[in-house]
Amino acid sequence: MPDDRAVAVLWNADDLGMTLRYRAAEVDAKRLGMQIVPLGVHAPDDFDAAFAAMTEKPPDAILMVTDILTVLTRKRVIDFAAAHRLPAIYEYAFLAHDGGLMAYGPNLDAIYDRADGLADQILKGANPADLPLELPTALETNRFGYPIAHLDER
């Protein structure tokens, strides 16, 4: 949506990792000439205030940074976005399967499978320091249109 200029970002403000992800989105948004509407939440009840703020001054879109708090409240976010006809993007495919408009993020099954393989090597005696660092090098979509990362050993 090239004309979007204000994106509401919902994130758990009590989680440092999620706050860092929010800040990264803010930096990228500024670089792209977009405005971020920060809607940090601390508890499930805080979503009411976030929804009220978006109702009073509707953003052009919503980005939900995913952690346990936002996942537990996902149905409310998905329903709000749909009711207010706001395009919303989520980080994991299961959120789109739950009714969200779209998702863009890592393939969790592939990550868990790779972690299983690494744990197996370590349990069989491999030194973790000797295992290669793996970075995503390409993205493709699966049959549902979700990205799949290919890992390159380094």
Beta bridge partners of 62: 8, 88
Residue 17 makes CB contacts below 8 A (sequence gap 6+) with: 67
DSSP 93-114: HHHHHTT-SEE-S--HHHHHHH
Q: Fold for 6-103, please state it.
A: Rossmann fold (3.40.50)
Task: Give residue 152's pLDDT.
Answer: 39
Q: pTM for the complete prediction? A: 0.74
> What is the pLDDT, as a whole number, of residue 8?
95
Q: Are strands 6-12 and 35-41 parallel, antiparallel or unpaired?
A: parallel
pLDDT value at residue 143: 59
Task: For tokens 């998702």, name the residue.
Answer: 103
Domain boundaries, the chain: 6-103, 108-153
Output the tens digit of pLDDT for each of the chain's 154 residues: 556 589 999 999 999 999 998 999 899 888 988 899 999 999 999 999 999 999 999 999 999 999 999 999 999 999 999 999 999 988 887 888 788 888 777 777 777 888 898 999 999 999 999 998 877 655 656 556 655 544 434 3
d(CA 101, CA 95): 9
